[in-house]
Structure 1
Amino acid sequence: MKLVNQTGFDPVDAGTLSESWRQQPCTPAYCCDYDAEAIRKALALTVPEVAVRIRDQMPEFFAKLGPNPTHADIVSANRATNSVINEP
């Protein structure tokens, strides 16, 4: 965590290896570029069954982005599919 902090990022302890599923694709913390506070919230609110449901919807969401989505497009799509974090 010290190294992450030294590189200019806010480190977040996401728990043990057995808890790493909370950061997998289709979970609220995955590929959403949130700040440390929002990541902690997303990790706490992650539910395995919801991740599976969202995973099954992702091909449809990504098809709407077209052949060359930008990083911002992908982050936006991930945030839209994981609405546990309220956006301003």
Structure 2
Amino acid sequence: MGDISDAKGIVMALVNEIGFDSVDGGPLEESWRQQRSTPAYCCDYDAEVTRKALAAAVKGDASRKRDQVPTFFARLGSHPSHDDVVNAISAQYNRVFVDRRWP
């Protein structure tokens, strides 16, 4: 994410070097695609699915979803594990993109 392609290239190379797959999230004007309550936010996806999640974000949709997050997480109980949270968010991803509904 950013507007300086040389800088993005350096950072992406470093990310790849330490063993992760980097994903270019686009220019800063597209940063809303990975804000809270968008498909790519806070998910443990591989690079291919992350690209799809970024592309599937709908501008202005995050605020509506954000207001539903407390109810969504309350279903996980008082002390969900990291895996529980990631799995629940991933399940939401499938509902949002396969069934086209939230939550």
* TM over 0.5, shorter chain: yes
CA shift for structure 1 position 34: 0.7
CA shift for structure 1 position 48: 2.4
CA shift for structure 1 position 70: 0.7
C-alpha offsets along residues 45-88 of structure 1, whole Å, 9 cap, x if unaligned? 100233222212111111111111111111122223333269xx
> Where does structure 1 lack aligned partners over 5 or more consecutive residues?
none
Q: TM-score with structure 2 length normalisation?
A: 0.74
Give the aligned partner of residue 60 of structure 2: 49
Give the aligned partner of residue 27 of structure 2: 16
Q: Could you say if the C-alpha distance between residues 76 and 25 of structure 1 is closer, same or farther in structure 2, counting changes exceeding 3 Å?
A: same
- The answer (yes or no) to whether the contact 1:42–1:85 under 8 Å persists in 2 is no
Q: TM-score with structure 1 length normalisation?
A: 0.86
Give the aligned partner of residue 48 of structure 2: 37
Output the aligned Cα RMSD: 1.7
> Where does structure 2 lack aligned partners over 5 or more consecutive residues?
1-11
How far apart, CA to CA, are the structure 2 residues paired with 1:78 and 1:23?
A: 14
**Which of structures 1 and 2 has the larger relative contact order (alpha carbons within 8 angstroms, sep 6+)?**
1
| SS of structure 1 residue aligned to 2:61 | helix
Identity %: 59
